[in-house]
Amino acid sequence: MKEAAELREPTEHYHAQPLEDNLFEWHFSVRGPPDSDFDGGVYHGRIVLPPEYPMKPPSIILLTANGRFEVGKKICLSISGHHPETWQPSWSIRTALIAIIGFMPTKGEGAIGSLDYTPEERRALAKKSQDFCCEVCGCTMQSALLALSPNSTPRPEDHEAKELAQQISFKAEASVSSKAGQSSGAESQAASNSQEEESSSDSQASVGPPQTPETEESSPASGEEVPVSTLVPPVAPSNSSSRSLSPRQRRAQQQGQEQPPRRPAFPAFPAAPQAPADGSHTGSVVLIVLLTLALTALIFRRVYLANDYKFDYEL
C-alpha cells in the first residue's frame, strides 16, 4: 500500500505499519504531546481498517495505559468508526495519528472509551509507558520512535496532517458544546415546567373544588336551621403528606377527587331483525287466492265460449 510505504520510516512523534499477515490491521506508536500530562510518554495501539477504506473510517484501539483512553476498547472520535458521518475519504492514517496526539490533552466529556484521570496519574502512566512491549508486533516503546532533537524540522506532509487534525478537533469541540447547550436548555425547560406545575397545584389547592348544581340545590334556604356538620368545611390534608407527593401526583389526585368515576363504555351491538307482521302475511295469502279464482273464471269462460260456438256451427 502507498500509505505503508510513506509511513515505513519512524518519526519523532509517530510511526505505523500494517501486520505482515493482515494488511487491514495496523500497529502504531505516538508520542505524548509536549507541555501536557502525557509529556515523555510513548503509547502503542491498533488501527483496524474496514474493507471499504478509505470510504469508511477505521477503528482505533489503544494498548498502552494512558489515563485518557480506555485500553483494549474502540475509542469514540470524529475520525473513528463511531462517527462515519464525519469521516472524509481524503483523510489518511497519518491524519488519524496526529489527531490522536491532538485529542489526548482534551477532556473526555463522557465519550465512549474516554477516561478522565488526574494529572498525577497520567504523568505516572507516561513514565511507565516506556517499558511497554507489544506481544503481537514485537515493538518496544523505547526504540519505536526517533529521539527528540531541538533542530528537527517538520515535514510538509506533517504540516498538512496537523492542519486537518486541528479541523477535526475543532469539529469535536463544537459538537460537544452543542450537546452541552442542548442538555442545559432541556434542564431549564424541565425546571420551568416543574415550577408551573407547582404554582398551578397551589392555586387549585387554595381555590378548592368547584360547587356543582347539586350542592347549590341541596343548600338550605335562608331562615332554615342548618346542621353544624354541614357548615364545617372539609379538613385539608396535612402538609407532610402534600410535601411527600410531587406536583404532578398532587394534581392527578385533585383531579381524581373532583371528577366522578366514569362508567365503562360498551360497544353498541346491531339491532336484531324484527319478524314480519301477521297482517302483511294474511293480505298476501288473500291476494293469491283472489288471483287464482280470477284465473279460474277466465278459463271457464273461455271453455264455455268455445263450446257455445261449436254448438252453433253444428246447427
What is the value of pTM for the model shown? 0.53
Task: List beta partners, residue 59.
Answer: 48
Instruction: Dump pLDDT digits (tens) for 103-155.
Output: 899 888 778 888 989 999 999 999 999 999 999 999 999 999 998 887 665 55
Strand order through the sheet with 59-62: 14-18, 25-31, 42-48, 59-62
Is residue 234 scored above 60 in pLDDT? no
**Is residue 238 one of the residues assigned to a domain?**
no
Catalytic residues: 76
Instruction: Dump pLDDT digits (tens) for 11-36.
Output: 999 999 999 999 999 999 999 999 89
Is residue 276 scored above 70 in pLDDT? no
User: What percent of the chain lies above the pLDDT cut of 70?
Assistant: 59
Closest to 130 measured CA to CA, from 47, 46, 39, 37: 39
Give me the mean pLDDT over the 183-203 stretch. Answer: 55
Q: Is 115:70 a contact under the CB 8 Å cutoff?
A: yes
DSSP string, 127-153: HHGGG-B-TTT--BTTTSSPPP-TT--
Instruction: Dump pLDDT digits (tens) for 235-274.
Output: 444 444 445 566 777 777 777 666 555 665 555 555 555 5
Report the distance separating Cα 202 and Cα 242, nearest Å. Answer: 10
For the chain, the domain total comes to: 1
CATH at 123: 3.10.110.10
Give me the mean pLDDT over the 171-198 stretch. Answer: 52
For residue 234 the three cell numbers come to: 372539609
In the chain, how many H helices and how many E strands?
9, 4
Q: Which domain holds residue 8?
A: 2-182
For residue 15 the three cell numbers come to: 510511526
User: 190 burial class (0-12, 13-18, 19+ CB within 10 angstroms)?
Assistant: exposed
**Is residue 62 one of the residues assigned to a domain?**
yes
Q: 77 or 179: which carries more pLDDT confidence?
A: 77
**Is residue 43 one of the residues assigned to a domain?**
yes
